[in-house]
Amino acid sequence: MATTPSGSPSGWLSTSRATTVSELAPAGWDDLVIGHDGRMPSHQLYNSVTWLRRYELSGAFDPVYLLAEAGGEVVGGLATHRVGGHETTSQIRVEDLVPTATPPGAIPVTPCRVIGGLIDGRSGVLTRPGMALHRRAAVLDRLVADAEDVAAAGGECAVLCRTVDAGDLVLRRVLARRGYALVPGPAHLVLTVAPGGLEGYIASFPPRYRNMIRREQRKLRDAGIAITVEPLTRELIPAVLPLVAQLSDKHHLGVAAEAVRGELELTRRAWKERAHAVVARAGDRPVGFLEVVEYRGNAWAQQAGFDYEHNGSLPVYFGVLFYGLMDFAAAAGFTRIDYRYSTDAPKTSRGCAALATVRAVRLLDPATHHRLVAALAPTG
């Protein structure tokens, strides 16, 4: 790793850069956390060494990992990736994240340097747990500044942080001081796992909702739908691909089946026994699917899919995402299930908290950034 000399006012810090995750694990990267409160998982799946490795395998995103060190200890880290524009993976596209980026004559935001995670999740700078807030602020500022230097050296026109917790005031203040435009992001949907499995989950609702959930469970049983949590295996993947394709078609996501197969295979190989599948079956036929990754005592929901023609009005969606998962989650000792974003109303109706986020973007050309800020300003 190349070391960059520290400067005032954070002279107690030095920073270094790495271009491969093989350099991160020895530095204690996975011991770093995101945020400074306990409302959500502090160890973040999408910034873990194992997750970041999958982007290196694609060879598409020119990763640069930034580390801050003080007193011989790594105290901060920031993952950065280049996004060139018009990515085929809808989860990684950035043109649609900034309202002024896509119309004719739009303000260009690509190529850009995405910091703190390539997909919507919990984005930001990693720091050593328990740091004093003023020291954390200095680490955040230093690493974001280094990311801007990387972007400028690479000829990139912007730096973008996808989904910052609205409650992460330290990071928001650092970004605002550095001139970033902050715009509303998607609600981040997280469920705290109730003790007692499914029965404990049901008991956490008011009586009216308890009755509704029990009615939905009876509908699934009467229709012969069985839901299991099982390993994500090589044999299972081909059987659930059509379900993911149906979800993609329904929501116009344009996700190719081979791309999904590749993603599921990567998850299976990288996470091994920590890669799970929630599968709803009618007889031997899968009619619902949810990929779940276990990391640091929490669970992250990933790819999902459903047989909409077969399921009709049956509550298979709720059975797979919630009811069929709760006993497993409690037995595994999960604290939270991170459902990331989208379909807010159905998920909050089944107990998820919807946590506000903001997107942060800074164009490196001052004149163009001024146009962006003016375009994003509320009117009327």
- pLDDT tens for 59-79 read 889 999 999 999 999 999 999
Q: Is 205 exposed, middle or buried (0-12, 13-18, 19+ CB in 10 A)?
A: middle
Sign of CA dihedral 93, 80, 110, 136: positive
| pLDDT value, residue 356 | 95
Asked if residues 92 and 83 have their Cβ atoms less than 8 Å apart, the reply is: yes
What confidence score (pLDDT) does residue 340 get? 87
| pLDDT given at position 42 | 86
Query: CA nearest 228: which of 160, 347, 320, 297?
Result: 320
pLDDT at 122 over 80: yes
Q: How much is the mean pLDDT over the chain?
A: 91
The domains of the chain are located at 2-185+358-376, 189-355
The percentage of residues in the chain with a pLDDT greater than 70, rounded to a whole number, is 94
- Which segment of 3-12, 94-103, 125-134 scores lowest on mean pLDDT? 3-12
Identity of the highest mean pLDDT range in 4-13, 81-90, 233-242: 233-242
For residue 217, what are its two tokens? 């469970």
User: What are 146-170's pLDDT values in tens digits?
Assistant: 999 999 999 999 999 999 999 999 9
Does 220 have pLDDT greater than 90? yes
Residue 37: pLDDT band with limits 50, 70, 90: low
If you average pLDDT over residues 83-100, what whole number do you get?
83
* Candidates 3.30.70.260, 3.40.630.30, 3.10.20.30, 2.60.40.10; CATH matching 2-185+358-376: 3.40.630.30
Quickly list DSSP for 213-280: HHHHHHHHHHTTEEEEEEE--TTHHHHHHHHHHHHHHHTT----HHHHHHHHHHHHHHHGGGEEEEEE
Q: Residues for the chain: how many in total?
A: 380
Architecture per CATH, 189-355: 3-Layer(aba) Sandwich (3.40)
Query: Which pLDDT score is estimated for 9?
Result: 47
Within this chain, domains 2-185+358-376 and 189-355 share the same CATH topology = yes
Count CA atoms closer than 13 A to 171's CA, side-chain side: 29
Please state whether beta strands 2-4 and 14-18 pair in parallel, antiparallel, or not at all (unpaired). antiparallel
Least confident span in 35-44, 157-166, 168-177: 35-44
Listed residue (245, 263, 268, 264) closest to 255, CA to CA: 245
pLDDT value of position 5: 42
pTM of the predicted model as reported, rounded to 2 decimal places: 0.92
Runs of H (alpha helix) within the chain: 49-58, 133-153, 169-177, 197-203, 207-222, 236-250, 257-271, 308-311, 316-318, 326-332, 344-349, 366-376
